Amino acid sequence: MSKKQQKLANLLRSKGLEFEEEVRDLPGTPDIFFRNKKLAIFFHGCYWHNHGCGNEVVNPITASQRAARSLTDQQQQKELLEQGYKYLVVWECDFDNDPDTQVLKVINRLHFS
């Protein structure tokens, strides 16, 4: 788990939320998973997951590898939905800009879905 993912997890715990991390038995291995709400949270790095926000990092992967990763993400999210789970993506750039808003986004999804 990256430092930023860990920070998100810590912020969620500080709000009293309980969850599992890196759940390998679900499609995509959600970074955070609320079993009682059937909600998977993915913390996506913008470059690797092909967000297109311009958040550039030095990384040796090609555009075609990023595009393939994006298609894999979409397939895994579809599988989650087919299995009766919900998901939410927290993008690295959004978390960098305003972590508190991303925490509220998760909380709102927990309470209103």
57 pLDDT band, cuts 50/70/90, is low
Task: Record the tokens describing residue 62, joined without a space.
Answer: 């090609």
CA distance linking residue 73 with residue 110, whole number of Å: 21
Q: What is the pLDDT of residues 3-53, one digit of tens each?
A: 999 999 999 999 999 999 999 999 999 999 999 999 999 998 877 776 777
77-113 residue pLDDT tens: 999 999 999 999 999 999 999 999 999 999 999 988 6
Q: Are 55 and 92 in contact (CB under 8 A)?
A: yes
